[in-house]
Amino acid sequence: MHQYAYTRILLFTALLALLGLFLNLGVQPVYLEEPRRATIAMEMEENGNFIVPTQFGEFYYKKPPVFNWVVWTSAKVTGGYTAWALRLPTVLSIIFTSVLLFWLGRRYVNPEFGWLSALLFPISGGLYFYFSLLGEIDLFYTLVTFAGFATLFHFQQQGRYRWMFFLTYALAAVGTLTKGLPSVLFLGLSVLAWLWWEGELKRLLSLAHLAGILVYGALVGGYLLAYHQYNDIGNYLQMMVAESSERTVAENGLLKLLEHIFMFPLDTIKDLLPGGLLLLFAIRRDVRSLLLRNKLLTFVALMFLVNVLPYWISPGARQRYIYMLYPFLLMIGLYAYQHREEVKAWRFRAFRILSGILVGAVALGSLAIPFIPGLEFLNYRWPLALGGFLAGAAVFYFYLRQPQRTLILLILATAVARLLFDFTVLPQRAHESDAQVDIEIARAVDEIVGDTPLYLYQGARISFSAIFYLNQIRGKTLRRNYELEKGAYYIALPEQFPGEEVLYEIPYNEEVYGVVKYK
């Protein structure tokens, strides 16, 4: 395969991977934490107050406001709080992170490294087939944090320390106002470790560093001062600390720690597949000297080591907390892959075999689509199965003919698999999702209540998805009320309103709440 043809297949694969991220993005009803993020953004807009996050009219302390601003912006730009609007920031965050990877890899290693780095991150299985489909905070936070790593490395290499401190600390401030204290840890560990490695710790005593601290303080401190105009900032800071401490050994115990130390690396590699296969080439005795050959790879390895450790020894940590470190592992594996001639041939043979199994599975698996239970409602099952098989078979053909292009063909096969996933699993989830029940609940409650005030009474709780769709239908947010208001409707436990007729029942968490009207 000549270089021109190789460049075309890189571009084609990138476009296919991009298409997979957007196709049927809004089909699946909102679920998990998506409706919470949306309802908080809705309340901020309704309140006309973008400083103080609230949930059901009460102060919400668990996350700072930046991602709520992002959700609101997406809703305004796209025309409303739809599932597609909620998930758009996630997809754009993946794309912009890939653009950064492309730029770094191309500039500091070689063009192929830039292309493949940019492609390997989004097609990581845990992201591509799960988290990229959610309107959640983590991939936006990944973009902000990874951008901070990029500015730290690039401007330090350029010797432009004013810009390094200014942008790195500004991005850390945005991260703090997105997810809280983890950004302080990322910032401190990364700056200290890299300046120490480069023999530039004296820069910490410079005016440029002081300016960076002032930028961080102005952004975070300015927000906290604005927040304090509405609510005691002590409550907010206390909850931020409590959120971070939930993952520690003290909260989870020694046995959980030992289990976590063993499972966390395995879960990470599994999440990175198929790119995780490249780590096969990085398991070599001279891996340190290999990574020291290139300054970017030295930085990548150091950043991964110093930043992953706090999460590796924290039993409550989840994979999504280290998504910003995933590119580092992939870059290490890719760099080792590009130097595969230095290791024994069995590694490449093993990589070839495993890749061939995955590519072949895409082709053969496509033929099973018409026979999968639950997909009977899809009237395009047979054409999709045939098209998927032909696409997978074509990739497998080139895989057999072009061993040196195994990696890009593996990425291409993964992009094909995501398209098949988009055409089958996502419509199936929309067809059978539990969230469909929540939509029906929202419609039924709206028909009963109309424009009359409606509240959650005291500690009443129902599905966040039902609340999101109710807010969407009614055009106003559901609030909590501890008092009784004549003529208003309440979602409450029926025993809290003895003698009142239960107009509609809402089962939730082994309780049955009712819609009642207080007369």
Whether the pLDDT of residue 249 is over 70: the answer is no
**304 and 445 in one domain?**
no
Domain count, the chain: 3
- Residue 252: pLDDT band by 50, 70, 90 thresholds? low
Check pLDDT > 70 for residue 292: yes
- In angstroms, rounded to a whole number, what is the distance separating the alpha carbons of residues 239 and 478? 24
Decide: helix, strand or coil at residue 178. Answer: helix
pLDDT digits (tens, 9 = 90+) for 416-433: 999 999 999 999 999 887
126 and 247 assigned to the same domain: yes
Is 15 inside a domain boundary?
no
Residue 465 has a pLDDT of: 94
Q: Which of 385, 411, 432 is the last residue of a domain?
A: 432
pLDDT tens by residue, 347-356:
999 999 999 9
In a domain, 502, yes or no: yes
Q: Are residues 246 and 356 in the same domain?
A: no
Same domain? 182 vs 236: yes
Domain boundary among 396, 411, 432: 432
Asked if 274 and 351 sit in the same domain, the reply is: no
* Region 55-79 average pLDDT: 96
Q: What is the 3-state secondary structure (H, E, C) of 68-94?
A: HHHHHHHHHHHCCCCHHHHHHHHHHHH
Answer whether residue 194 is part of any domain: yes
Please check whether residues 409 and 465 belong to one and the same domain.
no
Residues 39 and 159 in one domain: yes
Q: Give the phi and the psi of residue 58 in degrees, each rounded to 5.
A: -110, 150
388: CB partners within 8 A, 6+ apart: 362, 363, 365, 366, 367, 369, 416, 419, 420
As a whole number of angstroms, the distance between CA 475 and CA 471 comes to 6
Domain-embedded: residue 23: no
pLDDT of res. 1: 53
Q: How far is CA 406 from the centre of its chain?
A: 28
Q: Are residues 321 and 356 in the same domain?
A: no
Q: Are residues 442 and 428 in the same domain?
A: no
Residue 418's domain spans which residues? 345-432
Q: Is the pTM of this model over 0.85?
A: yes
Residue that terminates a domain, selected from 292, 307, 340: 340
Q: Verify that 376 and 489 share a domain, yes or no.
A: no
At residue 431's C-alpha, the angle toward residues 430 and 435, to 5°, is 55
